[in-house]
Amino acid sequence: MRFDPEKMLNIVIECHESDLSTEEVCRKHGIKVHTYYRWRRKLINAGLELLKNQLNYEDDRAGLIQEKNELSNKVKRLERDKALWELRYKWLWWHLESHKQPEIRTVVSHLKQQLASETDETAGRQLKRVGRI
């Protein structure tokens, strides 16, 4: 007679919790005593393996949470640095555009045209790469 894992577990629990001896519970279910001890050992090992996996999962999860927090902090620092660079960039352009010397204003105008064309080319390459053009 084959027993499914749930039935095996129920027999082992019954033997553990009842006032009957191991031999009496085994006789009641029609199994040999050494079969009961083999099942018990198998279930204990399975429980230990499950517990070990859960502990490993907890450790892995804790490590992932720590890594996520570190990456989140890096993103915040990068966003802050980006904002500072954007402010510096805008301040520099404002400063250059408000300059009174015609030579500097000519250079700024030329730079704006060059940056605009480079930005358009870069955007075009990116769209081609994505497959939109």
> What mean pLDDT comes out for the span 42-54?
89
pLDDT band at 77 (very low <50, low <70, confident <90, very high): very high
Structure token pair of residue 24:
């009496």
Least confident of 25-29, 43-47, 82-86, 112-116: 112-116
- Give CA–CA dist 28/6, Å, rounded: 17
Higher pLDDT, 92 or 122: 92
Given pLDDT bands bounded at 50, 70 and 90, which one contains residue 111?
Answer: confident
Question: Domain map of the chain by residue range?
Answer: 5-79
Rounded Cα distance, 110 and 105, in Å: 9
SS3 of 21, please? coil
Flag whether pLDDT at 133 surpasses 50: no
Residue matched to tokens 């393996």? 49
Q: What pTM did the predictor assign?
A: 0.45
CB burial of 62-93 (b: ≥16 within 10 Å; e: otherwise) equals: eeeeeeeeeeeeeeeeeeeeeeeeeeeeeeee
Average of pLDDT values for 105-127? 74
| pLDDT tens column, 18-43 | 888 999 999 999 999 999 999 999 99
